[in-house]
């Protein structure tokens, strides 16, 4: 596994070209970039030419881990299976070590998904620690403001470029329950004053797919994979916006419906 291909539930280590092609469009150069569901920063680390970078997640242990990776390199605790079980029951005992237990020593990247160390020829914690060290050197990650907040904390921002990769509806749950209806309502409000894009397999009828890509994914392990079309959505009210129209003309990943719209407009 490449040092920059790190497993994380729902992660974007691969097959994210349809997202990056939009976010890195020159029309968004010098924008303030916000990512409310940062995960392992697979998108952030490849977002370029922005005025500022702000990332967040409502999982405190993930934020503890990311701040540690931003501040230091090569300093990683080793977690035994016995300690893993203790930290799972009582994370407050040591937040940094609990963060490593929850993610670095977690099966298949799922939050406290079961202890894993060496599995066959793979040593997952070592691979993940190499990723943290590589992430430390990444320019966008190094500049980022990292926050432990919920996505709803951004409800009053204006004039920003926002990318959301929320827990996908109907898929394996993350560390806490997620209300998709409330999320989409928030996105509707934010779309009035910001450019906001959402990764999902499906969206409410008042959202339009602007780009897509077939990807293989697995969160069940054991080598099982499945193909699904991951899409990038924007609120339909923005489809006549000049910037969105120009992006649709430029991206090779435009959704079929978006292509049809693009042809009519041109």
Domain of 184, in residue numbers: 17-265
Q: Does residue 7 lie in a domain region?
A: no
User: Can you tell me the distance from the alpha carbon of 124 to that of 100, in angstroms, rounded to the nearest whole number?
Assistant: 12
105 near 91, Cβ under 8 Å? no
Q: Does residue 85 lie in a domain region?
A: yes
**H helices of 40-191, where?**
60-71, 81-89, 95-99, 124-136, 139-143, 180-190
**Where residue 26 sits, what CATH number does that domain have?**
3.40.50.150
Q: Does residue 68 lie in a domain region?
A: yes
- The mean pLDDT of 114-142, rounded to a whole number, is 94
Is pTM beyond 0.85? Reply is: yes
Residue 110 has a pLDDT of 84
- Indicate the number of domains in the chain: 1
Please, which pLDDT band fits residue 100 given cuts at 50, 70 and 90? very high
Residue 219 pLDDT > 70, yes or no? Answer: no
Tell me the chain's radius of gyration from C-alpha atoms.
Answer: 19
Residue 3 has a pLDDT of 39
């Amino acid at each position: 596994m490449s040092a920059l291909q790190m497993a994380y539930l729902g992660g974007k280590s691969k097959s994210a070209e349809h997202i990056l092609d939009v976010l890195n469009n020159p029309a968004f150069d010098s924008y303030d970039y916000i990512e409310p569901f940062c995960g392992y920063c697979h998108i952030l680390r490849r977002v370029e030419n922005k005025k500022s970078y702000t990332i967040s997640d409502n999982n405190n242990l993930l934020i503890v881990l990311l701040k540690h990776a931003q501040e230091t390199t090569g300093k990683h605790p080793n977690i035994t299976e016995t300690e893993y079980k203790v930290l799972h029951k009582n994370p407050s005992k040591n937040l940094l070590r609990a963060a490593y237990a929850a993610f670095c020593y977690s099966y298949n990247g799922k939050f406290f998904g079961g202890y894993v160390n060496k599995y066959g020829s793979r040593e997952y914690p070592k691979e993940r620690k190499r990723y943290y060290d590589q992430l430390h050197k990444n320019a966008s990650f190094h500049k980022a403001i990292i926050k432990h907040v919920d996505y709803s904390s951004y409800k009053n921002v204006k004039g920003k470029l926002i990318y959301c990769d929320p827990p996908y509806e109907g898929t394996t749950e993350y560390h806490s329950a997620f209300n998709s209806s409330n999320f989409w309502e928030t996105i509707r409000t934010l779309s009035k004053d910001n450019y906001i894009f959402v990764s999902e397999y499906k969206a409410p009828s008042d959202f339009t797919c602007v780009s897509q890509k077939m990807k293989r994914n697995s969160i069940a392990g054991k080598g099982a994979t499945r193909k699904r079309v991951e899409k990038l959505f924007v609120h339909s009210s923005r489809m006549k916006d000049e910037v969105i129209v120009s992006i649709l003309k430029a991206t090779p990943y435009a959704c079929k419906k978006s292509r049809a719209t693009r042809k009519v407009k041109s």
